[in-house]
Amino acid sequence: MVKIIAMLTNNDLTVANARETFEASSHAPTQYWGFKDTGISMHTASELAKHIYDKGKTLVFESFGEKEDDCLRAAEFSITNNCKYLIGCQFHTSVVSLLQGSSVAYLPTIGRREGIPRYLYGSIEEVVGDGQRVLASGADGICLSMYRYKDGDPSELGSAALRAVGQRSTIISGSINTFDRLKQVRKLRPWGFTIGSALFDEAFGKGLNWHEQISVLDAVLTA
């Protein structure tokens, strides 16, 4: 089944009450929890990571890093703080080298991304080719901003990317905020997808808390 990665983020920023949000929702039907390196100090991020890890959850760290030094810092954080997955940052072979021998899986972003929120640009061939390149260069998978794709049809991009790099190597991130999109993700069957802002917006049930909304997601994915 497609994995639900509950992200303690809203509008691409880790929320100030991330620990409290996790604590109230940690019994929801997902093993995978994460946050981003934006909107949070590294000290607070380390404390949050420890709390999630100590609760027995699998930790996903998403970085907006693009420069090599920033991506290396994200990798070092992931190793030090028991993160299982480092996703979203730019691909660098030095990150592959640093993570070698660790338990951290590296799924960088692909394609040309710009702005906050990060939108994805380029032809489908260019984006897919970049995914193949990073896998051939040592990444464990890709992080695909499918629904933030601006130069073509997101569903066509998703289908092409998953055919080229494999379903088990793909996390889809960003803007999965409708039932139609959720069902499309179910059809594509990536390894997993991230969701954060949509839960804060109650996109999967007005008046429902995180546990209840994640239960709805789980029910749709297993239908």
Side chain identity, residue 85 = Y
Task: Name the band, by pLDDT with cuts 50, 70 and 90, for residue 167.
Answer: very high
Strands in 41-174 per DSSP E: 58-62, 85-87, 105-107, 112-114, 119-121, 142-144, 170-172
The mean per-residue pLDDT over the stretch 62-71 comes to: 97
User: Is residue 116 scored above 90 in pLDDT?
Assistant: no
* Domain boundaries along the sequence of the chain: 3-109+172-222
Task: Name the band, by pLDDT with cuts 50, 70 and 90, for residue 114.
Answer: confident
Task: Name the band, by pLDDT with cuts 50, 70 and 90, for residue 96.
Answer: very high
* pLDDT at 10 (0 to 100): 96
* pLDDT at 157 (0 to 100): 98
The mean per-residue pLDDT over the stretch 185-189 comes to: 97
Task: Give the whole-number percent of the chain exceeding pLDDT 70.
Answer: 100
Both tokens of residue 121?
Answer: 């640009």
Task: Name the band, by pLDDT with cuts 50, 70 and 90, for residue 6.
Answer: very high
- Is the Cβ–Cβ distance between 185 and 178 less than 8 Å? no
- CA–CA separation, 60 vs 58, rounded Å? 7
The mean per-residue pLDDT over the stretch 184-213 comes to: 98
Per-residue buried b or exposed e for 47-79, using 16+ beta carbons within 10 Å of the residue's own CB: ebbebbbeeebbbbbbbbbeeeebbbbbbebbb
Give residue 202's Cα distance to chain centre.
19
Kindly state which CATH superfamily the domain 3-109+172-222 is placed in.
Answer: Phosphoenolpyruvate-binding domains (3.20.20.60)
114 SS3 class: strand
Task: Name the band, by pLDDT with cuts 50, 70 and 90, for residue 202.
Answer: very high
The mean per-residue pLDDT over the stretch 66-90 comes to: 98
Does this model's pTM top 0.95?
yes
**For the segment 17-58, what is each residue's pLDDT rounded down to a tens digit?**
999 999 999 999 999 999 999 999 999 999 999 999 999 999
User: Is residue 117 scored above 90 in pLDDT?
Assistant: no
DSSP state of 213: H
The mean per-residue pLDDT over the stretch 69-97 comes to: 98
The mean per-residue pLDDT over the stretch 173-196 comes to: 97
Task: Name the band, by pLDDT with cuts 50, 70 and 90, for residue 77.
Answer: very high
The mean per-residue pLDDT over the stretch 159-169 comes to: 95
